[in-house]
C-alpha cells in the first residue's frame, strides 16, 4: 500500500502466497529500503512488475490497484485479515494506524509492516550517497528515451504505409524528432561508470528490457542478472560500482 501527499491510499489486490518478510515480502522491503518506491509512480511500476513476475492477477495497473481517501491521517487495521500488509507512508507527515495492540505511528518516509490486525515492524529507507546519480532520475531518462524510440518507430510505420501520398524516400521518424539518444546514453554510461556498456546493451539489444529473458545476462559465476527493467539495471550498476570502491 502507498499513501500519497494528498492522503490518498492506494492498495493492490491481495497477493496470496509467500508474502511474509522472509519470503516475497522481503522483495517489497528491500525495494523500499533501497529507495525504489518514493512516489506513487514508483509504487505503481513496482506493483505491476511484482504481480507479473509472481502472480499474474491483473493485466493493467487499473485492474491491480484501487484507492480511497484517508480521513484524519488515521488507518484502522483492526479488521484486516491479510497475513502481511506493507504500508508506505509517502504523505510527508505522520500517519496513525489503529491495531489490536493499540495505536501505532508511521513516520513520513517509513514503511509499516502489519500482520493481520497487529503491527509487525517499521522499515526506514536506507541512507544513500547523495553524490550518486539518483535511481529515480536514471529511470525517468530511460523512460523518455524509450518513449522517443517508440514514437520514432510508430512514425516510420505510418510513413511506410502512406508511400502513395508521400513522394519522398528521405522522410523518416528520425527526421521528425529532435533526439540526442547516443549522447544521452554516453552520459549515463559515464555517470554510472558503465564500462561494460550494459546500458547500451539494455537499450539496443534488449529493446529497453522488453526482449529480456532469464539467463540472457549472467555474472562470472553464472548467476542471472536481471536486465528486465531500468530499475534493475540501475541497481546492478550501483552494486557493481560499490563493490569496486
Tell me: do 98 and 158 sit in the same domain: no
Residue 130, in any domain of the structure: no
- Best CA proximity match to 67, nearest among 29, 13, 28: 13
Do 233 and 193 have their domain in common?
A: yes
For the chain, list the strands marked E by DSSP: 2-3, 8-12, 65-69, 74-76, 84-89, 95-99, 102-106, 110-115, 118-124
**Are residues 146 and 57 both part of a single domain?**
no
Give the residue with greater pLDDT, 44 vs 176.
Answer: 44
Higher pLDDT: 34 or 168? It is: 34
Confidence of residue 180 (pLDDT cuts 50, 70, 90): low
Measured CA distances, 178 to 93, 143, 152, 173 (Å)? 42, 16, 10, 10
Residue 141 lies in a domain: yes
- For residues 12 and 64, state if they share a domain: yes
Q: What is the pLDDT of residues 137-150, one digit of tens each?
A: 888 889 888 888 88
Give the pLDDT band (50/70/90) at residue 97: very high
Residue 81 lies in a domain: yes
* Residue 213 pLDDT > 90: yes
Q: 120 and 101 in contact (C-beta within 8 Å)?
A: no
Same domain for 183 and 93: no
Residue 32 has pLDDT above 90, yes or no: yes
pLDDT at 102: 95
If asked whether residues 57 and 103 sit together in one domain, one would say yes
Examine the domain organization and report whether 120 and 139 are in the same domain.
no
Question: Per-residue confidence at 130, pLDDT binned at 50, 70, 90?
Answer: very low
**Do the Cβ atoms of 24 and 15 come closer than 8 Å?**
yes
Q: Show the domain range for 169.
A: 135-244
Same domain, 7 and 117: yes
Q: Is residue 129 included in any domain, yes or no?
A: no
95, part of any domain: yes
pLDDT above 50 (res 121):
yes
Q: At what angle do helices 181-191 and 135-161 cross, to 10 degrees?
A: 160
Distance CA(156)–CA(162), nearest Å, equals 10
For residues 90 and 60, membership in a common domain is answered with yes
Residue 128: pLDDT above 90? no
Are 85 and 187 found together in one domain? no
Whether residue 140 contacts residue 47, with contact meaning beta carbons closer than 8 Å, is answered with no
For the chain, the domain total comes to: 2
Amino acid at each position: 500500500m502507498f499513501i500519497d501527499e494528498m492522503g490518498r491510499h492506494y492498495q493492490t489486490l491481495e497477493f496470496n502466497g509467500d508474502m511474509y518478510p522472509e519470503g516475497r515480502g522481503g522483495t517489497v522491503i528491500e525495494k523500499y529500503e533501497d529507495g525504489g518506491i518514493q512516489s506513487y509512480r514508483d509504487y505503481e511500476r513496482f506493483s505491476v512488475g511484482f504481480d507479473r513476475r509472481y502472480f499474474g492477477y491483473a493485466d493493467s495497473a487499473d485492474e491491480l490497484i484501487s484507492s480511497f481517501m484517508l480521513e484524519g491521517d488515521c488507518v484502522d487495521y483492526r479488521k484486516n485479515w491479510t497475513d502481511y500488509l506493507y504500508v508506505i507512508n509517502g504523505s510527508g507527515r505522520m500517519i496513525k494506524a489503529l491495531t489490536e495492540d493499540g495505536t501505532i505511528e508511521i513516520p513520513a518516509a517509513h514503511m509499516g509492516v502489519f500482520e493481520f490486525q497487529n503491527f509487525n515492524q517499521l522499515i526506514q529507507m536506507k541512507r544513500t550517497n547523495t553524490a550518486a546519480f539518483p535511481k529515480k532520475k536514471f529511470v525517468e531518462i530511460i523512460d523518455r528515451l524509450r518513449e522517443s524510440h517508440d514514437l520514432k518507430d510508430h512514425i516510420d510505420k505510418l510513413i511506410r504505409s502512406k508511400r502513395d501520398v508521400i513522394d519522398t524516400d528521405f522522410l523518416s521518424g528520425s527526421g521528425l524528432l529532435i533526439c540526442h539518444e547516443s549522447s544521452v546514453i554516453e552520459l549515463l554510461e559515464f555517470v554510472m561508470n558503465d564500462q561494460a556498456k550494459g546500458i547500451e546493451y539494455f537499450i539496443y539489444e534488449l529493446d529497453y528490457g522488453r526482449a529480456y529473458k532469464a539467463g540472457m545476462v549472467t555474472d562470472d559465476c553464472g548467476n542471472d542478472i536481471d536486465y528486465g527493467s531500468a530499475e534493475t539495471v540501475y541497481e546492478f550498476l550501483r552494486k557493481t560500482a560499490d563493490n569496486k570502491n
